[in-house]
Amino acid sequence: MSVVYEFRGNAYRGLSELDVWTNLLTEAPLEPELPIVDAHHHLWDDERGRYLLEDYLKDVNSGHNIRASVFVEAGAMYRNYGDIPSRPIGEVEFVNGIAAMSASGHYGISKICAGIVGHADLALGDYVRPVLENLVLAGNGRFRGIRHNLAWDTGNATKFNKFQAPPHLLLDKNFRKGFSNLYPLGLSFDAWQFHPQLPELADLLSIFPDTSVILDHVGGLLGLSPHDFSRKDTFKIWQKSIENLSNFPNLSLKIGGLGMLYCNWDFHLRNKPPSSEELAAIWDPYIDVCLNAFGVDRCIMESNFPVDKQSCGYGVLWNALKRVTKNYSLSERTSLYHDNAVRFYRLEL
């Protein structure tokens, strides 16, 4: 399928152009010894461009101590044969191959794709069970869970998704029947939706208190129409939902994704990328809400690359996150950047 980009200013940059643009501003890594598990990144080679192992490694080798990473589904490398529900298995097969390459040590010490999150259509209900079982097999010990795109909105944001989610999928009885198959298989769920949908996630969590769920990208903050009326008012709506969700002990939260164009900052319109100081100043109130609500032990840091590359370079992004969390103790920062991801995704490092 073709992807149409019409974000603010119509200044969406392709990946090759982004390499040039982000290199206009690079920074020495802050606290380079701090161990990091990049808990959320993608790999693909399709209409969105090419971002494979060697491309990700160019970003990883920015000086930060990236020990391992978790791949999260991106709709890439699906099988072009067989029944439609089984086609996403191809993505896990592809990523497991990348993980095996990295595990050889030939490409550096970072264990890339040490954990794999794939996709299965949970709206299939109980019919999704054999797909889940085959995904586990395809992951060769690295498969950890499912992400099912839930992102839908009444405004402009939905049309930019690679896959179009129907409205209110979290409330669908067939989806919930499919979701019920995750816990028996020891699988977690990555929740990706926009912030107006967060009350529906709370309803799901109330029905499934035992399934481990992690909320991606600080809850899918939107700044696009119709949520661009007042950033202050949108912040309050988002904050209320985040604080409500923190009451569910089986839910964790990924801190990142704030560089996505959905947030409607102006970084991607600039001739030169923003510094980590500027990013930290803008992102700090959002990250502060997340950490205060969920606590250090339930938050995990992520790059969301290459998606967040629209706003800054990889090294600059980690510097910005480190600036925001600089007042936490070393043990707390080690939990945020490394230990929590290892625990949640059951990584074997």
pLDDT in tens, the chain (349 residues): 233 344 444 567 899 999 999 999 999 999 999 999 999 999 999 999 999 999 999 999 999 999 999 999 999 999 999 999 999 999 999 999 999 999 999 999 999 999 999 999 999 999 999 999 999 999 999 999 999 999 999 988 877 777 789 999 999 999 999 999 999 999 999 999 999 999 999 999 999 999 999 999 999 999 998 999 899 999 999 999 999 999 999 999 999 999 999 999 999 999 999 999 999 999 999 999 999 999 999 999 999 999 999 999 999 999 999 999 999 999 999 999 999 999 999 999 9
Structural domains present in the chain = 8-344 (3.20.20.140)
What integer pLDDT is reported at residue 11 of this predicted model?
A: 61
Predicted TM-score (pTM) of the model is 0.96
Written in H, E and C, the secondary structure of the chain is CCCCCCCHHHCCCCHHHHHHHHCCCCCCCCCCCCEEEEEEECCEEECCEEECHHHHHHHHCCCCEEEEEEEECCCCCCCCCCCHHHCCHHHHHHHHHHHHHHHCCCCCCCEEEEEEEECCCHHHHHHHHHHHHHHHHHCCCCEEEEECCCCCCCCCHHHHCCCCCCCCHHHCHHHHHHHCCCHHHCCEEEECCCHHHHHHHHHHHHHCCCCCEEECHHHCCCCCCCCCCCHHHHHHHHHHHHHHHCCCCCEEEEECCCCCHHHCCCHHHCCCCCCHHHHHHHHHHHHHHHHHHHCHHHEEECCCECHHHHCCCHHHHHHHHHHHCCCCCHHHHHHHHHHHHHHHCCCCC
